[in-house]
Every structure is written in structure tokens, then in C-alpha cells.
Amino acid sequence: MNSLQNRLAPQKLSSQESNNSKRKIFLIDIDGTISEDIRNEEGPERMSSAEPITSSIDAVNELYDLGHYICFFTARTNEHEQVTREWLRKYRVKYHQLILNKPRKLSPFTEYHLIDDSPVRATTFKGKFTGFVKKETTIEVFDE
């Protein structure tokens, strides 16, 4: 498979995602993750014409079909709810919930750090929604 096909073809998710005994709740960003990155200041009209990232949408729909819970968690605000839901419908994105008003990661803030008493995984989207792979890396955790 050449690199273009590789980039365009939806990646088959791993058996780990297929295991329904490990159903997960996915909190997934919208702008820059499943759609072209639109800033809130660009307004609802611009959001309605945002280009989809079809490989991401295919992967999200596959997670949905596997029984996982799909929640879009976005810094879009209440005024963007209708255009966002219409865009999700237009591109046949499967989801259970939409949460708006995520705090915006504007300067001086540089990242999100989720703290929860439930097990948490976090994956930074870098342009390609592949299956998940195990990698050794260094993360910050509480000192137990």
C-alpha cells in the first residue's frame, strides 16, 4: 500500500478496540480531529463548510459500531450547537453525546491534563486516526 493509500484508507482498529468486554467512553475533539480546524472566531457559517477528515470519521464510526460510547468534547460554544449537530449529521458521524464549552487552550495554556478517579488514557491526535498501539513513553502521573 503506497503512502497515499495508507493515508486515505481507514485503518482497521485493533482487536483491543473490538473487545466489547472493554467498552470505553471516548471523549473526542472536533476541530482539527474529525474536521478541518476552525476557530470559534470564524463563526458558525465557516463551521458549516468545514472539510471533514474522513479517515477520522470512519474510525469514530467504527468505535461506535463496536459498542463504545462516543462523546464529542469541544471548545465550540452553545451558539455553535446547531451548526455542529447539522455538520455531524451531514457527514454521518455516529455519536452519543456532544459536550460544548470545553475550556479553550489559548496562550498561556499549552495542553489539557485530565485528572479522574477512573482509569484514564489520553491520545494526542497528530493528523491520523489509526488503531491504537502500545508504546513505551514517559508520562506524568501522581506519586503513589
Residues that bind Mg ion (CB under 5 A): 29, 31-32
For Mg ion, the closer CB: 17 or 31: 31
In angstroms, what is the minimal distance from the CB of 105 to Mg ion?
A: 8
In angstroms, what is the minimal distance from the CB of 135 to Mg ion?
A: 22
For Mg ion, the closer CB: 111 or 143: 111
| ∠ Cα 22 28 30 (to 5°) | 155
- Ranked by CB distance to Mg ion, the top (closest) residue is 32
For Mg ion, the closer CB: 32 or 52: 32
Instruction: Provide the 3-class DSSP secondary structure of residue 29.
Output: coil
The Cα–Cα gap between 41 and 46 comes to: 9
In angstroms, what is the minimal distance from the CB of 97 to Mg ion?
A: 17
Position 2, amino acid: N
In angstroms, what is the minimal distance from the CB of 92 to Mg ion?
A: 21
In angstroms, what is the minimal distance from the CB of 74 to Mg ion?
A: 7
80 exposure class (CB count in 10 Å sphere: 0-12, 13-18, 19+)? buried
For Mg ion, the closer CB: 10 or 32: 32
Contact criterion met (CB below 8 Å) for 83 and 44: yes
For Mg ion, the closer CB: 44 or 67: 44
